[in-house]
Amino acid sequence: MLNAGGGADTTGNLGAMPFGPEHQAPAIRDLLAGSGRSFSFEFMPPKTEMGERQLWRAVRRLEPLRPTFVSVTYGAGGSTRERTVRVTGRIAAETTLTPAGHITAVNHSVAELRRLVGSYAAVGVRNMVALRGDPPGDPNGEWCQHPEGLRHAEELVSLIKASGDFSVGVAAFPEGHPRSPDPDSDLAHFVQKCRAGADFAITQMFFYAEDYLRLRDRVSAAGCDVPIIPGVMPVTSINTLERIVLLSGAKVPPSLVEQLAAAAEDKAAVREIGVDYAADLCQRLLAEQAPGLHFCTLNGSRATLDIYQRLGLPGRVAPGEAPGSGSGAPMIA
């Protein structure tokens, strides 16, 4: 979920890696400019050794799908700053994936943000997702600008773009940003982020295709052609629904809630219902010419693999490789 720099490694897990310019991945703006749709995955920096093992299992199982890119989230107030940079850098160095690291303005001075951008560059990462960010402790609490920081995401986009040859993504909100007073203001802020230099956008998760389509059409009518990639997160457990989906503020279809509640005692049935709904949503979005899909994996792989299989999506063909010669979508164990 979108709402969820350098220095010593405080995790004790990832260790120092021999990063350098030779590990730099391509710019996402260039990947999106090619033919075909973008399929991408979102991971979270792990908090424990067990969480790290789970993350890398997911990375390795999803890597054969050859996503266009993957992103690594950034905790509220910069709480996972070092881990996010290290995980993103390790993905750049040790896998074939193109990573994008999230970066938020909240709780950081301009000097800290510049150092953070430098930290990403130092580990071979040239793609970032610039977010204003949620207040630490309470996502719905009062947003306070750092006395030496930035107030808006568009300022963060400008700072990153001025720092080097980086490709920058921003957030989009199909149901409107929770702090925007009205749809027109929300649209104006999004367009400003794009005009500040954003190359692409990823939406907050949503459940109604119409909300995404309405946003896309309004942005296009405003003369902005930045690709808006829909963010999709399948509800695979009641815990996911209660602790993550509802915190995001997304409108959940009553029919979906009823189905999940009726199957609450059967974990497999709950998961099946959530995956079915997400797959249907993805099918509708692709039929409506969405530029791709961005899957919030919650550091798991099974739901994403299931959706890929149901939609008949192959692995992305590598540059210079003939269609059908790649590994394609792996079988689900």
* Active site residues per annotation: 42
| Crossing angle of helices 81-94 and 110-122, rounded to 10° | 20
Measure the CA–CA gap between 65 and 317, rounded to whole angstroms: 9
Are 81 and 54 within 8 A, CB to CB? no
Name the pairing type of β-strands 231-232 and 99-104: unpaired
Alpha carbon of 141 to those of 104, 189, 206: distances in Å? 16, 20, 22
Q: For residue 251, how many other CB atoms are within 10 A of its CB?
A: 12
Which DSSP string do the residues of 141-163 spell out, in sequence order? S-----TTS-SSHHHHHHHHHHH
Cα Rg for the chain, rounded, in angstroms? 19
Structure token pair of residue 131: 């977010």
Compute φ and ψ for 98, nearest 5 degrees: -100, 110
SS3 of residue 71 by DSSP: strand
Rounded CA-CA distance 176/204 in Å is 10
Closest to 312 in 3D by CA, of 77, 39, 47, 91: 39
Q: What is the token pair recorded at 145?
A: 């600008």
DSSP-based three-state secondary structure for 252: coil
Instruction: Kindly report the number of other CB atoms within 10 A of residue 188's CB atom.
Output: 12
